Amino acid sequence: MKKTVDVALPVGPMHPCWKEPVRLKCEMKGEHVLACEVELGYAKKGIERIMRGRPWQEVMFLAERICGICTVIHNYVFIETVEEISEITVPERAEYLRVIVNELDRIQSHLLANFSYCYTIEHETLGMYLLSIRETALDQLELITGARITCAYMIPGGVRFDLSGEDAITLQEGLSAIETETMRYRGMFETGPMIGLRSKGVGILTTEDAKIVGAVGPTGRASNVPFDVRSGHPVYQRLGFEPVVYDTCDNWGRIMARFDEVLQSCALIRTCLLKMKPGSIRGGGAIKGGEAVHSGEAPRGELRYYLKTDEHGRVIDISIRTPSIPNIEASGHYMIPGVSSAADVTSSFISCDPCVSCCER
Amino acid sequence: MSLLQKIKNTVRSRSIHVCYVNTGSCNGCDIEILACLGPRYDLEQYGIYVHNNPREADVLLVTGPICQQWDDKLKSIWDKMPEPKVAVAIGNCPISGCLYDREGSYVNPPASKYIPIAAEIPGCPPCPREIIGAILSLAPEIFRDYEEKNK
């Protein structure tokens, strides 16, 4: 990729804005970024290789530790794949409890992503507000599952713990706090003049480019690609789910899409609490052999598992496609080249919410 | 104890600079370190500042099971830090590799093979209050009377 270049600017692998090791090699002409190359490989652990040949009881915990920020969805999709192979049905209450925990995880992940963006554009005040409200979401997660991050809440046939009436009231109060505060911070982000200068029209990913590169999640939806795996999920269809779509195609739209999804997740949890009836939270069933492909909507986009097991439940083959791969590609190929300042490189990269440990596994 | 040492001890106890390095962790420990920065746990009220720059750090927080890429880089980051310095391993990964240290993986734990680790905080991931507690109990012990001890 050598061109007429003034400066080659490396960013990372250790950088104050990065939470995980990744390196961007930018080619600059003055302050103008001409090209960018993303260098991955600092967090490769070979999880899929470890998974092969192990029983599902072990792989379940390994799958959860692919990514620390979106642990719940990895657990959710892996367990749903196992259930699809073994034809296990889940009680209705457990289905709603799964959605509640998944949406709480999405809330905390989106708030963390928006914190990272605000921190990167040097708006630390708003970032700290968002971290503060994220703790409320983590408290609710701890209340239901017993752990803040790696909770292993879902198991084949249901969930581990029930939600008691008192806890449901605490959850409602927590949701009200999250909603009011998020509305306030969303307003601050929407109208902030300095935030607008740093975000509007920066890191453009047009709809055509998003379709070519296959951008998923809020990154794709902010570029007017109305694709959300939750629209096809039977439980979410019962809840009347509609994806959030923005057509601004820039950093500002991606962050606003995440704010809107936080509010949407709060509404989904409330609907779940209304629709939930008392009953069993754990069904029965036996693990069978077979293979299946299953998708779920992670906070960053579509997460897909291919799983092949033998009749004892041992994993013969597994392949995981995480949403960060197309999003990092979109960021490196389309968002960053063309930004007019070196300071916008980090903010454009963070705006697609890259999760390197997800991406490399 | 000299007057200069007394002043240094007082000043150092409220000015601990922290740098964290992710050597291939799953982000679980990193977001718990990040939660420490937030208003609820608020590291800065104890005089601990996170800059993520090894050249001005006193404490290095190591997360992750040391992937192959980090075999030599972790040592070079440690060498960049000025004295007095201390390294803390956060989570099970730098201590034992957690569940990644199996046959066929690309990890090479523990972190103490590469740099001297002064404290280990187990947990997958540990709570923010455990991380803060470890830094607060460890750092003053290491930095107290540093110049007189190392004359």
More reliable by pLDDT, A3 or A214? A214
- % of chain A surpassing 90 pLDDT: 11
Spatial CA neighbour of B134 closest among B122, B117, B121: B121
Domains of chain A and any CATH numbers:
7-350 (1.10.645.10)
* CB–CB contact A132 B39 (8 Å): yes
**How high is the pLDDT of residue A5?**
59
Mean pLDDT within A141-150:
87
Token couple for A271: 């609907």
Identify whether B125 is preceded by a cis peptide bond (ω within 30 of 0): yes
- The A-side interface with B (CB below 8 A) comprises 13-16, 19-21, 41-47, 49-50, 52, 58, 61-62, 65-69, 71, 112, 115, 128, 131-132, 134-135, 138, 148-150, 355, 357
CB atoms B40 and A135 under 8 Å:
yes
Residues contacting A136, CB < 8 A, separation 6+: A174, A177, A178, A181
**Gap between the Cα atoms of A120 and A107, Å rounded:** 20
Closest in A13, A69, A132 to B31, CB measured: A69
CB of B67 within 8 Å of a chain A CB? The answer is: yes
pLDDT digits (tens, 9 = 90+) for A194-207: 888 888 888 888 88
Residue carrying structure tokens 């069904």: A283
Which pLDDT does position A4 carry in this prediction? 56
Closest by alpha carbon to A174, among A238, A107, A243, A271? A107
The DSSP result for A165-201, as a single string, is HHHHHHHHHHHHHHHHHHHHHHHHHHH-HHHHHHHTT
Contact A46 B104 (CB under 8 A): yes
Band (A107; pLDDT cuts 50, 70, 90): very high
Q: What is the mean pLDDT of residues A276-303?
A: 87
Tell me the ipTM for this assembly. Answer: 0.86
For testing the chain A interface, which of B19, B26, B77, B108 should be mutated: the one with the most A CBs within 10 Å? Answer: B26
pLDDT band at A3 (very low <50, low <70, confident <90, very high): low
E-assigned strand segments in chain A = 7-11, 23-29, 32-39, 154-155, 158-159, 290-298, 301-309, 315-321
- At A346 the three-state DSSP class reads helix
In 3-state terms, what secondary structure has residue A40?
Answer: coil
Cis preceding-peptide flag for B84 (omega within 30 of 0): yes
Residue A1 — pLDDT band, cuts 50, 70, 90?
low
Residue A10: asked if its preceding bond is cis (omega within 30°), the reply is no
DSSP helix/strand/coil, B87 = strand
Tell me whether residues A68 and B31 touch, CB distance under 8 A.
yes
B12 CA: distance to closest CA in chain A (Å): 23
Nearest residue to A36 (alpha-carbon basis) of A325, A330, A332, A343: A332
Cα B94 to Cα B86: distance, rounded to the nearest angstrom: 15
Token pair of A265 as six digits:
């997740």
* Amino acid B57: pLDDT: 86
Q: What is the mean pLDDT of chain A?
A: 87
Residues of chain B predicted below pLDDT 70 = 151
Say whether A127 sits in a helix, a strand or coil.
helix
**Which residues are registered as beta bridge partners of B21?**
B62
Q: Is B56 on the interface with A (CB under 8 A)?
A: no
Q: Which residues of A touch B102 (CB under 8 A)?
A: 50
**Burial group, residue A34, by CB count within 10 angstroms (0-12, 13-18, 19+):** middle
Q: What number of CA atoms fall less than 13 Å from residue A293's CA on the CB side? A: 5
Select from A41, A46, A135 the Cβ nearest to the Cβ of B69.
A41
What pLDDT sits at residue A286? Answer: 85
